[in-house]
Amino acid sequence: MNRTNFSRTFLSVVLLALFLVAPFFVGPYFLHILIMTFLFAYLARSWDLIGGYAGQLFLGPVAMFGIGAYTSTLLGVHFGLSPWIGMLAGGVMGTIVGVLLCYVSFRFGLKGIYFGLVTLTFPEICRVIVLNLDAFGGVNGILIPFKERSPLGALLYMQFAGKIAYYYMSFLMMLLSLYVIHRIQKLKSGYYYLALRENEEAAEAVGVDTLKYKLMVTGIGSFFLAVGGTFHAQYLMMVNPETFFGMDFTLEVIIRSIVGGVGTVFGPVIGSFILTPLSDISRAILGGYQGVHLMLFGAIIVAIIIFLPKGVGEWLGRGYRFLEARFGGKMPVSVKEDKDDFAESK
Amino acid sequence: MISATMILQLLINGILRGSIYALAAIGMTVIFGVMNIINFAHGALMMLAMYITYWLFTLLGVDPYLSLVISVPTLFILGGFIEKYLIHKSLDEPEINQFLITAGIMIFIENAMLFLFSPDVKATSVSYKGAAISIGNVIIGLNPLAAGLIAAAITAGLYFFNKKTDLGRALRAVAANKEAARLMGINLNYIYFVAFGIGSACVGAAGTIISPMYYIFPQAGDLFLLLAFVIVILGGQGHVVGAFFGGLIIGVVESLCILVIPGSTKDAVVFAVFILVLLFKPLGLFGKRRQ
């Protein structure tokens, strides 16, 4: 193990240990912020698989998120099914809908902005349907009934008393999403997804079945987005059309990925770690002045796209490598990377 | 009970309402055609024009239709500057960045209005509110009629501007092929400024002429934003006349939906029509294939 690897492993272990013990040292409010940070990191990571890594202009992550949430909730309310099964069912539903939506669009040759518009409008259709069907709870949504007080029942029905269990669950989900992209990058299909982003025509010309790989990547991304929906529904103990099918949510997810660095492994996670606490804390501080914290949010989006169009992740990575080279002794590999980055940015 | 009069009434309502949608969408189609970006701040700009009209009327007693001479140039300049100083920087970036920057501008404008004027619903209480003429059994509101006529006039004006003036030709040239237009000596930065300005001015006009009829609040433009997407695609990218008829079609479809299905489900029908058009006629009903 050389020293670069050592310092990176050391940093990861320290971070992991910090996050594992964190819930015993922070209050419920900060625990909530951390849970939302992990959840958004997970969702942005899942969206980034489709929208960043494979480069499809997929503007409807909230549709899969809502479908996951409503599937598990409806199964739970009507058939008393455990949300764990509902989560899986929701994931499968999300995959089916995502793959169908993309199959139809890609089959008819919709790309770029046109594909973006289809995926942007689709959650609106879902929202209007849910809003108007009493079976889906209409405007008020559905409250998830409280089932059990025993620890076993809590586990079975994913209804934990405190926030700590949700904390670990969301933390695991975030790690899972990172593991998934880590695996995908090594697979042959991972290279095909990259080819979709870099040059679809060229990929097609060398015989890549682009439709198949587009469907695969949307299917995987949709599954994880839908699972995130079930988690959020269980955390809030309710579903409603505005939260689970609203366009705001789509923006919230995508912006995290852009802020951190779209199409990179850690970008979406870094984006969530910057934006989620920022938006929660600014809401707490500026909440008395209606609209100000969202004005700030809008201004941050605009500023980041103008000044850091590639995201902060790249910038942080460069800083980290600089520190490593500065304090870690001789690092021929990382210094070389540093130079490459510099040449690229020129 | 469905009668011929009722259907006629719904048709006329639909056409008048559709012409307002059309005016909002024309602004977007100009921007989409020339710059190839989807402007999410469109609804927010419309809402700004509604507030300008409201305050001019409430504080200075300016008639809403008269305030067009103030709101339209204001929105033109505002839109132009938004393009020049903000959106222009993202034009070389991936499409997702352009989507987010306009969305960020939308969030900023809407919440700035929320902060300044509270979420309370406002309305311009003009004396002729709700005035109508009746022809036979059909009733036509004067405000919707005026809005429809103004929308038609602006569409016609923009059509001839595009066809007959040098600037209009330059806009069409950039829409058809940016690189070739640039090589012919057209200043792209200037054209983008003008295109975004015209787009904002159109949606500003739409915001002003509907303020005697609609409630004014910070999210008032959102409904028109999604409809404008639908209409732009229906009419074909950058096609002004197409967008006008697209707007009329959507207005009529929405209006006639009341006969068949209840309540706000009509929105789902409109979006379903949108996806169908995208799939089967992605160039729009009036669009031509371009290079």
Q: What is the pTM of this model?
A: 0.86
- Do the domain assignments include residue A166? yes
What pLDDT score does A33 carry? 92
Q: What percentage of chain A has pLDDT greater than the value 90? A: 29
Going by the DSSP 8-state scheme, the letter that residue A24 receives in this structure is: G
- B101 contact residues in A (CB cutoff 8 A): 301-302, 305-306
Q: How far is A344 from chain B (nearest CA, A)?
A: 15
Q: What percentage of chain A has pLDDT greater than the value 70? A: 93
- Do the domain assignments include residue A298? no
Q: In the numeric block, which tokens belong to residue A205?
A: 């010309």
Measured at the CA of B288, the angle between CA B206 and CA A107, to 5 degrees, comes to 100
Q: Which residues contact B75 (CB under 8 A, 6 or more apart)?
A: B45, B48, B49, B200, B201, B203, B204, B205, B207
Asked if B107 and A128 come within 8 Å (Cβ–Cβ), the reply is no
- A289 contact residues in B (CB cutoff 8 A): 115
For tokens 């602004």, what's the residue? B27
What pLDDT score does A338 carry? 43
Q: Which residues contact A223 (CB under 8 A, 6 or more apart)?
A: A91, A92, A94, A95, A98
Asked if B272 and A125 come within 8 Å (Cβ–Cβ), the reply is yes
- A255 contact residues in B (CB cutoff 8 A): 100, 104
- SS3 string of A47-89? HHHHHHHCCCCCCCHHHHHHHHHHHHHHHHHHHCCCHHHHHHH
Q: In the numeric block, which tokens belong to residue B181?
A: 């237009």
Question: Which conformational region is residue A290 in: left (phi greater than 0), alpha (psi within -120 to 50 degrees), or beta?
Answer: beta
DSSP for B124-193, written as a single string: ---TTTT-EEEETTEEEEHHHHHHHHHHHHHHHHHHHHHHHSHHHHHHHHHHH-HHHHHHTT--HHHHHH
Contact B205, B20 (CB under 8 A): no
Beta-sheet pairing, B132-135 with B138-141: antiparallel
Q: Which residues contact B248 (CB under 8 A, 6 or more apart)?
A: B14, B15, B18, B19, B22
What's the CA gap between A188 and A184, in Å, rounded? 8
Q: In the numeric block, which tokens belong to residue B46?
A: 């419309």
- Do the domain assignments include residue A306? no
10-residue mean pLDDT series, chain B (291 residues)? 80 89 90 89 93 92 89 94 90 87 92 88 80 81 88 91 90 87 89 93 92 88 86 84 89 84 73 79 67 38
What pLDDT score does A332 carry? 46
Asked if A121 and B226 come within 8 Å (Cβ–Cβ), the reply is yes
- Do the domain assignments include residue A9? no
Best to test chain B binding among A127, A305, A308, A310 (most B CBs inside 10 Å)? A305
Q: How far is A271 from chain B (nearest CA, A)?
A: 14
Contact B185, B53 (CB under 8 A): no
Domain that holds residue A205: 26-254
What's the CA gap between B206 and B240, in Å, rounded? 15
Beta-carbon-side half-sphere exposure of residue B230 (alpha carbons within 13 Å): 30
What pLDDT score does A94 carry? 95
What's the CA gap between B207 and B43, in Å, rounded? 9
The SS3 assignment for B122 reads strand
Q: Report, as ranges of residue numbers, the positions in chain A whose pLDDT lies below 50.
A: 330-346
What pLDDT score does B1 carry? 58
Q: Using a CB–CB cutoff of 8 Å, tell me whether B217 touches chain A.
A: no
Restricting to B residues 258-287, those with a Cβ less than 8 Å away from any Cβ of A are 262-265, 267-268, 271-272, 274-275, 278-280, 282
Residues A50-77: tens digit of each pLDDT: 998 888 889 989 999 999 999 999 998 8
**The dihedral sign for the CA sequence A149, A152, A153, A159:** positive
Contact B125, B215 (CB under 8 A): no
What's the CA gap between A141 and A139, in Å, rounded? 6
What's the CA gap between A57 and A117, in Å, rounded? 9
Q: In the numeric block, which tokens belong to residue B70?
A: 């103030």
Residue A176's identity, in one-letter code, is: L
- Do the domain assignments include residue A228? yes
Question: Beta-carbon neighbour count of residue A274 at 10 Å?
Answer: 20
Task: Cite the DSSP H helix spans in A187-246.
Answer: 188-198, 200-205, 210-236, 241-245
Q: H/E element holding A181?
A: helix A164-186
Q: Using a CB–CB cutoff of 8 Å, tell me whether A133 touches chain B.
A: no
**The dihedral sign for the CA sequence B208, B210, B212, B214:** negative
What pLDDT score does A341 carry? 42
What pLDDT score does B288 carry? 60
What's the CA gap between A234 and B246, in Å, rounded? 43
Q: What domains lie within chain B, and their CATH numbers?
A: 4-123+134-280 (1.10.3470)
The SS3 assignment for A241 reads helix
Q: In the numeric block, which tokens belong to residue A17?
A: 């240990």
What pLDDT score does A20 carry? 85
The number of distinct structural domains making up chain A is: 1
- Do the domain assignments include residue A271? no
